[in-house]
Amino acid sequence: DYNIWVCAHLDVVPVGELSLWNSDPWRVVEKDGKIFGRGVEDNQQGLVSGVLAALSFVKQHIIPEHTIKLLFMADEEVGSTYGMNFLLKEHRDLFSKNDRILIPDGGDAKGETIEVAEKNIAWFRFHTIGKQCHGSRPDLGKNAKLAAAELALKVHDMKNVFNKNDPLFDPPYSTFEPTMQLQNVAGINMIPGDDVFCADCRINPCYSLDQVRKELSLRVKEVEEKYGVKIEVSEAQAEQSLPTPVTAPVVTELAAAIKAVHGIEAKTIGIGGGTVAAGLRNLGFNAVVWSTMDELAHQPNEYAVIKNIAADALTIAYMASC
């Protein structure tokens, strides 16, 4: 026998620019068949669908063919250290290799895509140490910003080394994107001796993170030697993920449930974003990511469509009944 797991996270991301919201993001607003508020789609929609699926059996005094188990986790948005990763380290026996594990933390407006694979993720932090000086005398310093700028371009260019496409993903290629920049000097006329920036890298699974690290270290060394600076590299996150086979029971049975409830043919995809499915897959648990959503996560005026919540609950209940 096996269980039907619905695993959702409780934490939400910050609001962002408050002026872009049409309502208070911390107060639920129902309008036009939608529920608005921060976190209502990511990930409270999936959480509620799981609860409704289980509650429907309880209210009708029906014992389903397979037990629905609900798991609500912490800190998915910041690495899952105290959420799924903790559970997989300390309480791995919660799960059975035969369980059907559903992560309702991604999807599309039709509910037709079943996510079975994720790109490898690496978040790098680059601390460039040079020598500060006056803006009129760059010859007396070592411009950490200039060195970091060249390194950012070299990081971005790594897509031309790791250039194999995988049609399972959108986009189908690996991405190496410089992102967050920390403040360095306080004045325009100061050449910085210290600079920190970060890069978000999403790498197709055909490449290992060790391959990426090796190439990156060569590029860092080139910049250090050219500008006479020191660059410290650290990793805020690094995650490799095995795929769930498209023939796994959780995939085929979910596809059958989608056909029965939504009346559409499901298709399997991969995604660039990371979910808690990665940790499960790496330990041999076949997990899928699926939900019916308009993909408003992390955006202003985030909403969940009420009819989607109900339809997804019915889909989960269908899986538990078969």
Q: Is 11 a catalytic residue?
A: yes
- Listed in sequence order, the DSSP H helices in the chain are 46-59, 84-90, 144-156, 209-227, 249-262, 277-282, 306-321
Q: Is 222 a catalytic residue?
A: no
d(CA 82, CA 22): 33
Burial of residue 251, with CB atoms counted within 10 A of its CB: 0-12 exposed, 13-18 middle, 19 or more buried: buried
The two structure tokens encoding residue 2: 């096996």
Residues 6+ apart with CB under 8 A from 278: 118, 239, 240, 241
d(CA 198, CA 178): 6
Specify the pairing of strand 190-191 against strand 133-134: antiparallel
The residue behind tokens 């490799």 is 240
Residues 6+ apart with CB under 8 A from 151: 126, 128, 219, 220, 223, 231
> Which residue in 41, 42, 76, 312 is the catalytic one?
76
241 closest CA partner among 280, 215, 212, 213: 280
Q: Which residues participate in catalysis according to the annotation?
A: 11, 76
